[in-house]
Structure 1
Amino acid sequence: MNASPSQPHPAEWTETQGLLPSAERDLPAGRHQLHKEQMMAQIHEDLRVSSRTSPAVPPKRPNPFLRPTILLPAMAFALAGAVVGGLALTGGGSDGGATALATGPALTTRIGTADAKGAPQLLGRISLAATTSAPTPHQGQYVYITSKVASTHYREDGDDSKVVSDKLHSRQVWNSLDGKDGWLIEAGETSGKGITLAGKIPSASAYSTLARLPTDPDALLQRIYRQSDAHRDAEVPRDQAAFVAIGDLLTESYPPAKVSAALYRAAVNIPGVVAVDDATDAMGRHGVAIARENPADGERTEWIFDKTTLQFLGQRSVVVKKVAGSAFKVGTVTITSAITDRSIVDANKQIPGQVI
């Protein structure tokens, strides 16, 4: 599952949530947004405190691409629905710097052709490729993931309303194997040195938790449904919540190879899952995709894989159906990511190959 950087292309301008262990508390209906706001307030307080010894960072509204598996309570973000890309940004006032990244034209893409009959065969091939792709870390090491990310928003600025997108920017995350320690550096969102993730990483995305998941795909899917049923908002379709949960475990965590393979085999049995002949990650790399459309918002979440190696490249969400009341046109990319490196390192904030 290690993703290697490729030559950057102009991006044709994908997201999701960890499998919640039973030890996590249920989130009452309607409380997801409150939890998100509370956690983001804590993150930005960290930034304010760290800025006393670091170059000043202008205050920002939360970037919806700050990953839920890192910064928000488990299941609180992705299972609230695929509205993440549509969060309204308000310009002006003291928060005028909040939309600094979200100033470009809306990201758009060609929509690949979906094939429901091709999904089982493609997932079978992806599962087989995944069985030999992940290393086995040892105690004290960290999972390191670096990626390129961007997202799209509906922006309100007085009488001016429009759809805008972030600049493609870099993101680096370190997670300890037990999920108790970590670090985040994201261009435009954290100071140059980054912020600590100690105490902010849901145990669901920790390697130690993932390693204990069942590798029987039927048992694994039952657990995914059970947990997503307990924590999803009522308006999120049950099958979409399960698909989103698997996708998050693939994006910014590093499941053991056998677990990754089981997740792909489990996805075969989620109704509505399709194969897509062509999809492009945030770096402009073309691949094939496993996807599912959320009929509630017309967005299709796509897991993108290299066409030859079937290596996981990244994720994106694309509007494939116009929904009444939505400002997003068909072809709009609301979330996009491209993994450029996924490695095991010996210490927090260590770069692969760096001697510390």
Structure 2
Amino acid sequence: MNASPSHQPHPAEWTETQSLLPCVERDLPAGRHQFHKEQLMARIHEDLRTTTRPEPPKRRPNPFLRRTVLLPAAALALAGAVAGGFALSSGDPHGGRTALATGPALTTTVGAADAEGAPRLLDRISLAAADTSTPTPRKGQYIYIESKVASTYTSSVGDKTSVVSEELHPRQVWNSLDGKDGWLIEPGQTGDEGITLASEVVMSGAYDVLATLPTDPDALLRRIYRESDATRDHEVPRDQAAFTAIGDLLTESYPPADVSAALYKAAAKIPGVVAVDDAVDATGRHGVAIAREDGTGERTEWIFDKKTLRFLGERVVVVKAVAGSPFKVGTVVFTSAITQRAVVDANKQVPGGAS
């Protein structure tokens, strides 16, 4: 499936391009271990990392890379497919990656959580999503998603371990409608030319799959629970796994408006989901958020514009201190901002340009 993330661009922004500030790439929170722990996908990820450049010590995988590169076989559940082969090849013959600068850990003010306000906010978001008209892709076209992302991770030099954040950097993903073909360009994760994303299975976030999902929120949520139960790491609570699954289907994908609206309404029925009064995306845009704590002190937040309720981005923030963890309360483990969603005619084609 698409790599993630997650996160949940609102349809209203899909044809917009925002100028963004740089952001940081993120560590994978414990609540998402259900995906990267799958042995086959973990091996693929490890091969990808070791054949290009050394991974920073103790760094957790980029969830957005997971969404597009690792999930095609890991999150088949909603696609109803059986795990199959997955091919990765680099457009860069040397497999080189662009090194990203690191700096102090990215931190933020933790917004107040409101459990009672979550259903009301999600109902408004759902209505806004349903009221958005988006172009219907045609056979042979690709979904293009551009974002800014960044992560925070631990780095060890000798016997000293510190928490650092990567610079905000762009990420571009192309996916065919059937989810079996695509391309990824992300500094620090791929060569400058990018890598191909090819799968023998249908990605769960593929447009063709999303278009078949039930639009009744109760039926949709039952399916999400059923399929996430079949793939999750059992250390991950099933409610968190369902919340994560919805986030991944909304972030680097292009759901039809009625499916987006249903996914938001389904999320409102998951225990532990809260509204957050203030959250900031990777580019500094403030908004309200729908969030859930994963049980390890980290909270995943889907951020929306306060007025239009269009999706802005996603972040993971440490909201509770955990004994032995180097991550302090307020640390932004991962941050993203969606800058553009569009339908294009060919793989590697940018909106308004040639391939």
Shift of 1:165: 1.1
Shift of 1:134: 3.1
Match of 1:71 among 69, 72, 79: 69
Tell whether the 8 Å contact from 2:23 to 2:149 is kept in structure 1 after alignment. no
SS in 1 for 2:303: strand
- RMSD of aligned Cα (Å): 2.9
Shift of 1:74: 5.1
Q: Does the C-alpha gap of structure 1 residues 353 and 262 become closer, same or farther in structure 2, counting only changes over 3 Å?
A: same
The answer for the alignment partner of 2:203 in structure 1 is 203
The answer for the alignment partner of 1:299 in structure 2 is 298
Given the alignment of the two structures, is residue 138 of structure 1 paired with residue 168 of structure 2, yes or no?
Answer: no
State the distance in 1 between where 2:258 and 2:325 align: 40
Given the alignment of the two structures, is residue 35 of structure 1 paired with residue 58 of structure 2, yes or no?
Answer: no
The answer for the alignment partner of 1:116 in structure 2 is 115
The answer for the alignment partner of 2:218 in structure 1 is 218
Per-residue CA deviation, residues 116-138 of structure 1 (Å, 9 max, x unaligned), is 11111111111011112432111
Gaps of 5+ in 1: 18-26, 49-56, 78-96
Tell whether the 8 Å contact from 1:32 to 1:76 is kept in structure 2 after alignment. no
State the distance in 1 between where 2:258 and 2:208 align: 14
Shift of 1:156: 2.1
Shift of 1:198: 1.7
The answer for the alignment partner of 2:324 in structure 1 is 325
Q: Does the C-alpha gap of structure 1 residues 281 and 232 become closer, same or farther in structure 2, counting only changes over 3 Å?
A: same
SS in 2 for 1:204: coil
Given the alignment of the two structures, is residue 341 of structure 1 paired with residue 340 of structure 2, yes or no?
Answer: yes
Q: Does the C-alpha gap of structure 1 residues 31 and 138 become closer, same or farther in structure 2, counting only changes over 3 Å?
A: closer
Aligned pairs (5 A) from 1:174-185:
174-185=174-185
State the distance in 2 between where 1:10 and 1:192 align: 18
Gaps of 5+ in 2: 1-10, 76-95
Shift of 1:238: 1.3
The answer for the alignment partner of 1:91 in structure 2 is none
The answer for the alignment partner of 1:228 in structure 2 is 228
State the identity as a percent: 62
Q: Does the C-alpha gap of structure 1 residues 200 and 315 become closer, same or farther in structure 2, counting only changes over 3 Å?
A: farther
- AA aligned opposite 2:40: H
- AA aligned opposite 2:298: E
SS in 2 for 1:338: strand
TM-score by length of 2: 0.81
- AA aligned opposite 1:39: I
State the distance in 1 between where 2:324 and 2:17 align: 38
Per-residue CA deviation, residues 40-68 of structure 1 (Å, 9 max, x unaligned), is 245358xx6xxxxxxxx655468524432
Per-residue CA deviation, residues 145-193 of structure 1 (Å, 9 max, x unaligned), is 0000001112222201011111111000000000111011112222221
State the distance in 2 between where 1:182 and 1:220 align: 27
Tell whether the 8 Å contact from 1:274 to 1:291 is kept in structure 2 after alignment. yes
SS in 1 for 2:198: coil
TM-score by length of 1: 0.81
Number of residue pairs the alignment of both structures matches? 316
Shift of 1:34: 3.1
Deviates most, 184-193 or 255-264: 184-193
- AA aligned opposite 1:281: D
Q: Does the C-alpha gap of structure 1 residues 15 and 215 become closer, same or farther in structure 2, counting only changes over 3 Å?
A: farther
Tell whether the 8 Å contact from 1:298 to 1:323 is kept in structure 2 after alignment. yes
